Chain A
């Protein structure tokens, strides 16, 4: 059940990242770049949780997991502060 949820979250964040980065390629709008990167890292975070749960449950992934989530948050926040008047 939990692993399904994290797969779904990974797919959802990947979708958002792809849509944002696709349009960044078209319009070169920096907000799209930062939010696209943010969702990419968020997808990585979700994938990491899945890996932690299913593949290497004996290893504590807490630091990489929380660090990637924080990085995603920081990227998006930076983009929002910088590129929206």
Chain B
């Protein structure tokens, strides 16, 4: 019943994916921002990665809420790669590296962990979630 492909990914990277990433689009956005090291708008991200503006904005906001991106409000809202802690930075960078070598494993891991499981698990957090 276990997924052999997921076992290629190290346990802590899987834990990072499980806690901070909901979809493959979010991985792509995170990798894009991590590599380019400049500010991106939602529209710019959407155009670059072939998704709708609304979807890009939703993912960017989620990643920012999880401490991976910094939001700057100017004439437009822009997002920069800025992990809140050294640990997040390390995991994000490892994810960006792994995305070139183990993309299938990452995609498969995300696909086998539907949002609903996370929702079930998150329901048991007594404090109000982020």
Whole-angstrom distance between the alpha carbons of A24 and B114 in the complex? 16
CB < 8 Å: which of B119, B124, B126 contacts A29? B119
Residues of B within 8 A of A31 (CB): 116, 119-120
Contact (A27, B119) CB under 8 Å given A84-B114, A85-B114: yes
CB distance from A29 to the nearest CB of B (A): 5
Query: Chain B, interface size: which category?
Result: 10 to 19
Residues of chain A from 3 to 23 with CB closer than 8 A to chain B in the complex: 16, 19-20, 22-23
Whole-angstrom distance between the alpha carbons of A13 and B114 in the complex? 25
Residues of A within 8 A of B114 (CB): 84-85
Whole-angstrom distance between the alpha carbons of A81 and B120 in the complex? 14
Tell whether, in the assembled complex, residue A32 and residue B117 are in contact, meaning their CB atoms are under 8 Å apart. Answer: no
| A40 within 8 A of partner (CB) | no
CB distance from B17 to the nearest CB of A (A): 17
> Looking at chain A's contact residues, is the secondary structure mostly helix, strand, loop, or mixed?
helix
Whole-angstrom distance between the alpha carbons of A84 and B118 in the complex? 11
Residues of chain B from 90 to 130 with CB closer than 8 A to chain A in the complex: 114-117, 119-120, 122-124, 126
Whole-angstrom distance between the alpha carbons of A85 and B124 in the complex? 21
Residues of A within 8 A of B124 (CB): 16, 19
CB distance from A19 to the nearest CB of B (A): 5
Mask, B14-31, CB within 8 Å of A = 1, is 000000000000000000
CB < 8 Å: which of B116, B123, B126 contacts A84? B116
Most chain A CB within 10 A, of B114, B117, B123, B126, is at B123
12 contacts between A and B (CB under 8 A): A16-B124, A19-B123, A19-B124, A19-B126, A20-B120, A23-B119, A23-B122, A29-B119, A29-B120, A32-B120, A35-B120, A85-B114
Extra contacts, 10 of them, besides A19-B123, A27-B119, A35-B120 (Cβ < 8 A), are: A16-B124, A20-B120, A22-B123, A29-B115, A29-B116, A29-B120, A31-B119, A32-B119, A32-B123, A84-B114
